[in-house]
Structure 1
Amino acid sequence: MNTTEHWINGSYVPAGGRTAPVTNPATGKVTAEVALASVEDGHAAVAAAKAAFPAWRDLSLTRRTQILFAFRELLNARKGELAAIITSEHGKVLDDALGEVSRGQEVVEFACGMPHLMKGSYTENASTKVDIHSVRQALGPVAIISPFNFPAMVPMWFFPLAIAAGNTVILKPSEKVPTAANWMAELWKEAGLPDGVFNVLHGDKVAVDTLLTHPDVKAVSFVGSTPIAQYVYETATAHGKRVQALGGAKNHMIVLPDADLDLAADAAINAGFGSA
């Protein structure tokens, strides 16, 4: 049985303790085990991100975006591989998985414009003899906690922008769908990303709590259920972190009076159960 390991500082770190089963939803068969991080594993991932931050932050925007473009080209050429991984662990059909990868790639492409997005501003004489300057600067190590339903798209909502802006990343994917995150980590390395800039920490609540409370993690982005979003927000803000916690997005719809009700009903059912 293969074990999906953590990706820390540019290489795999063997699972040293607890594991959990990874299941193919189409068959119910256990296909692998995934490492569940200890507190020490979490500290190692954060330490790698912290050590890589100064050099990555100081690298020119031109060099950073060159790596983004390389990642984009590799992803575009090999997105079928990632889609197949998503199908094998999540269960959505291959066309749906390919669509997910394409939606994530849109954010990668947006992040390729980071030299423009990072521009500050300058206002002369905003008040009498008062000029105003603003600058945008990287924060440091940031954490991403992503759900099972979009193993590639949701992480790609966050990490291309965080990395392009000069931050380093620790991604904690759902333990139900761990392999996509590792595949993307390997792709980043192939694109030329320095070791430690993108790390993958697998696990459960132990891994999450380590990231939410670690003093070197500067910000947290989360997508998942409303109760966990509230827990993430309360815990991380109490430890002085910037937090983006997105919860409760379960196929909500607004149906207006002039809607085609048959079409709306069909869309609602497919949104919730299209892969069943």
Structure 2
Amino acid sequence: MDENSLNEKSGLVFQQVLSRTTIVNIPKPPVVTPVGNGVLLDIEGTYYILSAGHLMNITDFPNLMIPGVNNSMTLCNGKLITSHQNYGDKSQIDIAVFEFTNRQNKHLIGRYNFISPSDIGIEHRTVETSSYIIGGYPLNNIIKALGQPMFTAEPLQVVTATVRNRTYKKFGFNPETHILVKLYGRIKPFLSSRKTRLKKLTGISGSGLWYVPNWRDIDANGVPKHLLVGILTDNFIDQGFVAAVRIDFATEMMIHNLEINAKESQQTNFGLHLKQVYSMEIP
């Protein structure tokens, strides 16, 4: 595929990815402090956020907010299942699933699009020659409005690939639990012919890692099929990569803790790798 075609098709993917990504915040009146990202999911009219456990932890949960309709902020009222009790917990499986109460729907509909279960790829086998998408809002690309709980956010949009298998062992990652993809200090931005130096990324955690099986497999709108296969958690940009927890852990949380009827993943041993799961509900 030529570069122009890749730019066009990846641009369509980015539009969809970013419309399904939110920014998680903690209030500090009269402003809010963004802490990371999350991916929005719709299962038969019930809405969820899939994010990193250290962002959506039990201690901070009562104050967590996301942007809503009409330039408002809405609290995350509902049920949280997370790997982290506190922000600084050391669980390497860093994942959270949040289920909104139905009364929060009016704050979401019209602001966001949502992925569906068919957009999630469990039991993903990484292929070094395949394409992956990173799309989210790094905190150092967010500009706050003075004295108001609003901000503008410049997205990070990267087409990348997996690292070599030896990188997992070198940095202590298990390919059964994580997916590592390349991200360097210098990248070529979308629709640009020149590379630019990235600012030190902060707050990209909680963004989705998306897999594009085949750029020629497109829907009626010309958008290539892309699947959510992980949630970004760790930034190793100085070593040339970022790490994502496999999305299988989020789907297992939904099956075991939110009673979602779905096929269990055979890729990961949920009980072996994630020994402690915390939950809290705010009606």
> Is the TM-score greater than 0.5?
no
Q: Which has the higher helix share?
A: 1
Q: Kindly name which structure, 1 or 2, has the bigger radius of gyration based on alpha carbons.
A: 1
| Structure with more strand by fraction | 2
- Taking structure 1 as the reference length, the TM-score comes to 0.21
TM-score for both structures, normalised by structure 2: 0.21
